[in-house]
Structure 1
Amino acid sequence: MAALIFITGASSGIGQALAWRYYQAGYTLALVARRTEEIQAWAQSQALDAARYRVYRADVSDIDSIVGAGQACLAELGVPDVVIANAGISVGMDTGVRGDLDVMVRTFSTNNVGLAATFHPFVRAMEQRGSGALVGIGSVAGIRGLPGHGAYCASKAAVINYCESLRGELRSSGVKVVTLCPGYIDTPLTRQNRYGMPFLMQPEAFADRAFDAVAQGATYRVIPWQMGLVAKALRMLPNALFDKVLAGRPRKRRQDEA
């Protein structure tokens, strides 16, 4: 029987690239998104074998919605070998603007609670089987806070720490927990950025390296590795110097900005 992978946020960007990489490796795909029509159109354009993929409509910010999708996958396809909690949002915020507090709530509901809810249906089943990989998509932005990115940076820092906690909980179960931290990837989200993006990668290149990281049993990996060095260097900077380096850097677009 072909290996099975469950991927959220599969309608575009990193999620779609991961789906294609795993399909090429022979996996059956369980693809999740709010915009299922886009997944279907992509699957048809790539001539995917209809017997090797299933599409589930779910909103990861709605716990019952994403848990229901996971339960449907278990009932119809069985226990996945890999689950990738990829769905996420990135919107700038200004704490002085009341509406941006709602942005922060939405960001955490999607990027954090949604990630845990994505894993939830599969944890016990994977433990009983004694194998599987739960993959959380973090970000280099979770390593140090960037001005105007409060919600996103905080949410991705939470992803990194949550996955580390979960990895310890499942250490003796045979279930692996993998944290992948992308740098700048050329997706619809990053194309709206108003600042330079060093070491920008194409989603397909990221997917290749992510596939290898999971296959190799990595627990944590920054992709590309160059951004890992940049992030470590920034982490080591004293606060005063870090603030000076970022002074004047354009902020991420907020929800009410064109």
Structure 2
Amino acid sequence: MQSDAVSGAANTAAAPLVFITGASSGIGQALAARFHADGWRLALVARRTDAVQQWLRDSGIPAEKAQVYAADVQDIDSIVAAGQRCLAECGLPDVVIANAGISVGMDSAERDDLDVMRDTFATNNTGLAATFHPFVAAMRAQRRGTLVGIASVSAIRGLPGHGAYCASKAGVVAYCESLRGECRPFGVKVVTLVPGYIATPLTAGNTYGMPFLMQPSEFADQAFRAIAAGTSYRVIPWQMAVVAKLLRVLPNPLYDRVMAGRGRKKRRGE
């Protein structure tokens, strides 16, 4: 994606297209609103398409500006089919944002929580790769496009009771870095966005402190600018980038003391 295309999208005859998963709420919905505000066409993916359609109506976004696709990113064939439909109906997106994700606490002593880990990886990792899959070859052939992976500051260090999510988001960072090296020779950009705490349904049930909590619209505005610039890696907000760097260099004994007594993410069913 070129930054001049971002700023001038509303004035072009054929507006650029963004493909976003997890578009029914939270970050995905906020990103959709931000791109639409700049004149982009939307291809929105969610399991709950009725919620997306209602949001489009409430937001006054005309039908010709948005296509909605039903898919479950845990199901590889489902999300790949959604991407293929987008290609057939709307053309090649300029930006693909793999945003869909889940966050559930786990305890490895509990057998059922191994299923939680399986489902988390299926959504946050395999689902992310499957989201990109339909578009990679076409983007490489046309030597354009941007693939955006949504990670988390939870990727920086493991949090007690949050092993599945932390591990999956660390995987997102490593995967996107690998993909960036594969796509760079073809002129395709890969952007890794690393949100801190964002006020979404994913964080609403957290029982612990969430420093520098951001509203989704504020995150989306900063994310939009990072994508436009083709930034390879960006922690949002910047304050969390500082915290993340400090946590990364803390010796393990000190980090363990800092984390002692910290609230845990709720497990499935709690």
TM-score (norm 2): 0.95
Question: Corresponding residue for 2:65?
Answer: 52
Of residues 22, 40, 55, the one that matches 2:53 is 40
Q: Which amino acid aligns with 1:19?
A: A
Candidates 168, 173, 176, aligned match of 1:155 = 168
1:46 offset after TM fit, Å? 0.5
SS of the residue corresponding to residue 173 of structure 2 reads: helix
Alignment of 1:166 onto 2:165: no
Of 223, 246, 250, which residue of structure 2 is paired with 1:210?
223
Which of 145, 151, 154 is the equivalent residue of 1:141? 154
Q: After superposition, where does 1:211-250 map in structure 2 within 5 Å?
A: 211-250=224-263
CA distance in structure 2 between the partners assigned to 1:256 and 1:201 by the alignment? 27
CA deviation string 1:81-106 (max 9, x = no partner): 00000000000000000000000000
Cα drift, residue 172 of structure 1:
1.1
| Aligned counterpart, 1:125 | 138
- What are the Cα deviations for residues 197-234 of structure 1, in whole angstroms up to 9, with x where unaligned? 00000000000000000001100000001001101100
Give the aligned partner of residue 110 of structure 1.
123
CA distance in 2, matches of 1:189, 1:166: 26
Residue of structure 2 in register with 1:76 after alignment: 89
In the alignment, what sits opposite 1:64?
77
Identity %: 69
- Once the two structures are superposed, residues 20-54 of structure 1 have per-residue CA deviations (whole angstroms, 9 ceiling, x without a partner) of 00001111000000000000000000010111100
Q: What SS is found at the alignment partner of 1:55?
A: strand
Name the CA distance, whole Å, in 2 between partners of 1:177 and 1:35.
27
Query: Who is 1:16 aligned against?
Result: 29
* Aligned residues between the structures: 257
Q: Could you tell me which of 61, 81, 105 is aligned with 1:92?
A: 105
Q: In structure 2, how many angstroms separate the alpha carbons of the residues matched to 1:147 and 1:216?
A: 35
User: How far is 1:133 from its partner?
Assistant: 0.3
Deviations, residues 226-252 of structure 1 (Å, cap 9, x unaligned): 001101100000000000000000100
Between the aligned partners of 1:255 and 1:50, the Cα distance in structure 2 is 37
Q: Which residue of 2 aligns with 1:197?
A: 210
For the pair 1:101 / 2:128, whether they are aligned, the reply is no
Q: Counterpart of 1:161 in structure 2: which amino acid?
A: A
Q: Structure 1 CA distance, aligned partners of 2:119 and 2:23? A: 19
User: What's the offset of the Cα at 1:256?
Assistant: 2.1
3-state secondary structure, aligned to 1:45: helix
- SS of 1:205's equivalent in the other structure is helix
Question: Equivalents in 1 of 2:200, 2:166: separation in Å?
Answer: 18
Structure 1: tracts of 5 or more residues without a match:
none
Q: For the residues of structure 2 that align with 1:188 and 1:169, how far apart are their CA atoms?
A: 34
Unaligned runs of 5+ in 2: 1-13
Q: Given the two structures, how large is their TM-score scaled by the length of structure 1?
A: 0.99
SS in 2 for 1:56: strand
Q: Structure 2: how far apart are the matches of 1:236 and 1:88?
A: 27
Report the alpha carbon displacement of residue 189 of structure 1 after superposing the two structures with TM: 1.1
